[in-house]
Every structure is written in structure tokens, then in C-alpha cells.
Amino acid sequence: METRASAHSRLAADERRDQLIRKGVELLGSRAYDQMSISELARAAGISKGLLYHYFPTKSEFVVAVLKQSREELERRIAFDRTLEPVAALNASLDGFLGFVEEHAAGYQALARARSGDDELIRGELAEGRRRRVGGLVGFAAALAGAERDEITSPALEAVLSGWLAYSEELVVRWLSEGALERDDVRRLLRHALLAGLASVALVDRSEAAVRLAEAASS
Amino acid sequence: METRASAHSRLAADERRDQLIRKGVELLGSRAYDQMSISELARAAGISKGLLYHYFPTKSEFVVAVLKQSREELERRIAFDRTLEPVAALNASLDGFLGFVEEHAAGYQALARARSGDDELIRGELAEGRRRRVGGLVGFAAALAGAERDEITSPALEAVLSGWLAYSEELVVRWLSEGALERDDVRRLLRHALLAGLASVALVDRSEAAVRLAEAASS
């Protein structure tokens, strides 16, 4: 049986862990994690390096926990609102995305670089994030076409959505790093490219659902 | 004054260097350079490791020379044929691109990963390749709109073209690694996305040239 003291200290440990992750998310907004040392992370969190290693045995594990938390926040901000018309929901989702990215500019740029980096744990978490975003966009495509997910899912649709995520990453990195584009410009370009991409699926997939999707995306 | 012997051996050295690069391009088609060791490269080229280091002091320098050669080949294959109508030239260029990529599948997939890798020399060469491709596509956009390059160049156009290159990389990697899409599917999707992207520039750039480009790309 657990004593009150051990339950208490376990709770404290969980809280400390969460607090470290929150601190990491905050730090990730203002600088690239790959330019951050474990000592700096510990200092920023106000704990010793040894204690940080107690919670996260390797830097990768810490970064992955931070990325996961950050992804969950992103997913809340970009979730498609099912009470809205699909295109209004898309606009709201794009606004949520650009707002999130603006707040985590340095972190986002580092992620874009880390996507194909050497760290397998980090790459895995980023790939998982992309898979989940493709899944969310398949849901949007289904709503737009008035179809079931199963009817609409195809290799072409997934390729187009994954391609659009790469497209959006490139535009966002340019917007954040060069400032030559306004946020509203980026939103318009992303919206146009996504709808054009959805319409293009019917060029290679002649299913009824893909044709309906093309009609809805072009109107 | 140079003796005949030293001129001869210099020529032989240049030839040997070119031969090594050609061998590298060939190897790059069948496997990822980052999984190749210097010893393997030397063995494949039939020379000693020491001699390879004589021509290329570091692996990065060898890889960069190979990438450059490979990029020059790609540029020949995708060059827009100015004797054709712009859209016919686009189709030919996309075919050239997909043919090149198909022949260098393993290398292309490695490049897509290396784009944001740790090696600064390699990253620099890949960034240069992308800049040059954006430049080539600006030329296509100008031809399509019947405009001068200077009239049509804008941050929005460059962002869209750079985004399209990221989009195409994602589709190509899926095509090569999963085989769920046919080459013709990829060509149709890329063509559609490029024309849609060019049309979208007028959403954020109301110049006359951008409007003309949108009309030409939508027709």
C-alpha cells in the first residue's frame, strides 16, 4: 500500500515533469531547441542538470516530450469546428495554425529543419504529427465532399495533403524568416493551394467521392 | 614552362577526378550517400582510399561535387524548351524531372532528407539547386504570362514556386517509396498544383503581370 508521503512525492514529481515540459514549450517558442544545451534548459527551469536528467534521461526524450505537448496545443488550435460550414472551418483552422506558428516562430523554424535530422526519436514524433494532420485534413475533405472518410481516403488524397503540408511549411518559414509576405497573404495562398490540391485528386482517382470533392473544392 | 609530362599528368588528374564524380553520380542513383562510407566509394571507383582523399580531402567535398554534377544533369533535363508553347514546355520539363528522379531514386530520397541535414556544404549546394530551380520557374511564369522576368518577380511568386518544389518533393518521395501512385498521376498532380499556385499569386500581388499570369494559368 502506498503511503501518503510517496503518493505526495509522486504527484510532485509528475507536476515537476509537467512544469519542465511547459518551460520547454515556452523556450521552444523563442529559440531553436538544437541550439539549446541541457545546462541551459536546466537553468531556465531553475533546477539542476542532474535533476533534469532524472526526469528526462536524454535530451531527445525531453525534446520529444516538449514537441508532443506543443503538437497537442497545435491540434487544439487547428481542429476543424464541425458546427461551421467546411470552408468557414478551414479559414478558422488556418488562422489557428498561423497564430500558433507566429507565437512559436523560432521553434517552428527549427522543427522544419529537424524533420529530416539525425535524431530518430525526434523525427518519429514529427512524422507522427504530420500523419495526424493528414488525418485531420482527410476529415475536412470528407466534410467538404459530404462523404464518409472511408469513401474519400486514397493514396492520391493522402499524397496531396502531405504535399500541401510541405508547401505550407515552406511558405511559413519564408513568412517568418524574410517578412516579405504578410500573414493574410500566407493564409490566402494556403487556402487556395489546399482547395486546388483537393480538386486535383479527381485527376487521378475517378471515384464518385473524388469527383464530388473536386466539385465542392472548385465552387 | 610546363613540361609535356606534367601537362599530361595534370590532364590525367582532371580526368580521374571527373571519373570519380561520374562514379559517384552513378552510386548516388542506387543508394543514399549518407549510407556510403569513403572506403566503399573508393572501392566502387577502383582506387585506394588515400587517392580518393587526394582528390577530395573530405567526404562532404566529394558529395558536393557529385551533387553539383547531378544538378547540372537535372537542369539539362528540366530546361524549358523555348521553341514550345509554355504549357507544352511545362509538360516536357515535368517529364524530364520525373525521368531523372526515377533513375536516381535512392539518391533523390537521400537528398530530400539531406536538405536540412547537419552538413553545411551539402545544405548549401542543395539550397543553391533550389534557388536555381525557382529561377527557372520564374522564367516559365514570365513566358506563360507574356511578361518580362522583372515585371513578374515578386516575393509571393518566389514563395509559391519554392512551396511547389517542396510539394513536388513530397509527392515524388511518396511515389518512389510507396508505389501507390503512378508516374503519370504524379505528373498530373504536379502540373495542376503549379498552375494553381501561379494563379494564386494574383490573390496577394495585384500587379498587371500577376493578373495576366493568373489568367494564363487558369485557362
pLDDT value of position A5 = 55
At residue B7 the predicted structure's pLDDT band, cuts being 50, 70 and 90, is low
Give one word for B179, left, alpha or beta, with left for phi > 0 and alpha for psi -120 to 50: left
Which residue did the predictor score with more confidence, A117 or B104? B104
The whole-angstrom separation of Cα B129 and Cα B80 is 16
Nearest to A66 by CA among A23, A103, A104: A23
CA distances, B68 to each of A116, B61, B115, B201 (Å)? 21, 10, 14, 31
HEC sequence for A96-163: HHHHHHHHCHHHHHHHHHHCCCCCHHHHHHHHHHHHHHHHHHHHHHHHHHCCCHHHHCCHHHHHHHHH
The answer to the question of residue A166 being in a domain is: yes
Q: Is the pLDDT score of A118 beyond 80?
A: no
The answer to the question of residue A57 being in a domain is: no
Helix and strand numbers (H, E) in chain B are 11, 0
* Average pLDDT score, chain B: 87
Position B107: which residue type?
Answer: G
Nearest to A172 by CA among A107, A77, A118: A107
The answer to the question of residue A173 being in a domain is: yes
pLDDT value of position B6 = 60
Per-residue pLDDT tens for A171-217?
998 999 888 899 999 999 999 999 999 999 999 999 999 999 999 99
Q: Which helix (H) or strand (E) holds A28?
A: helix A4-30
Which residue did the predictor score with more confidence, A29 or B165? B165
Residues 6+ apart with CB under 8 A from B74: B97, B100, B129
The whole-angstrom separation of Cα A151 and Cα A77 is 27
CA distances, B148 to each of B171, B204, B208 (Å)? 31, 19, 12
pLDDT value of position A9 = 63
Q: Is the pLDDT score of B9 beyond 80?
A: no
Q: Is the pLDDT score of B17 beyond 80?
A: yes
The set of long-range contacts for B10-15, using a CB threshold of 8 Å and a minimum separation of 24, is B13/B55
The answer to the question of residue B24 being in a domain is: no
What is the domain-level CATH number for residue B132? 1.10.357.10
Q: Are A216 and A145 in contact (CB under 8 A)?
A: yes
The answer to the question of residue B109 being in a domain is: yes
Average pLDDT over residues A143-167: 96
Q: Which helix (H) or strand (E) holds A48?
A: none
CA distance A173 to chain B (A): 10
The answer to the question of residue A213 being in a domain is: yes
Share above pLDDT 70 across residues of chain B, in percent, rounded to a whole number: 90
Q: Are A189 and B204 in contact (CB under 8 A)?
A: yes
The answer to the question of residue A132 being in a domain is: yes
Determine the residue of chain A that is closest to B194 in CA distance.
Answer: A193
Mapping DSSP to helix (H, G, I), strand (E, B) and coil, where does residue A81 land?
coil
pLDDT value of position A164 = 97
The answer to the question of residue A10 being in a domain is: no
Q: Are A62 and A20 in contact (CB under 8 A)?
A: yes
Q: Are A217 and A198 in contact (CB under 8 A)?
A: yes
Find which of A158, A161, A164, A204 to mutate to test the B interface (most B CBs within 10 Å of its CB).
A204
Give the range with max mean pLDDT: A34-48, B23-37, B38-52.
B38-52
* Average pLDDT score, chain A: 87
The whole-angstrom separation of Cα B62 and Cα B121 is 10
Q: Cell numbers of A211, please?
A: 469527383
At residue B62 the predicted structure's pLDDT band, cuts being 50, 70 and 90, is confident
Domain ranges, residue B163: 64-218
Per DSSP, B36 falls in state: -
A165 in reach of chain B (CB within 8 A): yes
DSSP B145-211: HT--HHHH--HHHHHHHHHHHHHHHHHHHHHHHH--S-HHHHHHHHHHHHHHHHHHGGGT---HHHH
Per-residue pLDDT tens for B138-193?
999 999 999 999 999 999 999 999 999 999 999 998 999 888 899 999 999 999 99
At residue B122 the predicted structure's pLDDT band, cuts being 50, 70 and 90, is confident
Per-residue pLDDT tens for B98-119?
999 998 888 787 777 777 667 7
CA distance A44 to chain B (A): 26
The whole-angstrom separation of Cα A210 and Cα A85 is 19
Do B115 and A112 lie within an 8 Å CB cutoff? Answer: no
B62 in reach of chain A (CB within 8 A): no
The whole-angstrom separation of Cα A90 and Cα A194 is 10
pLDDT value of position B10 = 63
Average pLDDT over residues B192-218: 96
Do A166 and B169 lie within an 8 Å CB cutoff? Answer: yes
Position B118: which residue type?
Answer: D
Q: Are A182 and A128 in contact (CB under 8 A)?
A: no
The whole-angstrom separation of Cα B137 and Cα B94 is 11
Average pLDDT over residues B197-210: 96
pLDDT value of position B8 = 58
The whole-angstrom separation of Cα B43 and Cα B216 is 53
Which residue did the predictor score with more confidence, A9 or B71? B71
Which residue did the predictor score with more confidence, A35 or A213? A213
pLDDT value of position A116 = 66
Q: Is the pLDDT score of A84 beyond 70?
A: yes
Residues in chain A with CB shorter than 8 Å from the CB of B118 are 117-118
Q: Are B63 and B123 in contact (CB under 8 A)?
A: no
CA distances, B28 to each of B64, B120, B133 (Å)? 12, 19, 20
Say which residue the cell 522583372 belongs to: B150
Do A167 and B171 lie within an 8 Å CB cutoff? Answer: no
Position B108: which residue type?
Answer: Y
Q: Can you tell me the ipTM of this complex?
A: 0.84
pLDDT value of position A193 = 97
Based on the structure, what is the number of domains in chain A?
Answer: 1
Q: Is the pLDDT score of A2 beyond 60?
A: no
The whole-angstrom separation of Cα A131 and Cα B63 is 32
Do A155 and B165 lie within an 8 Å CB cutoff? Answer: no
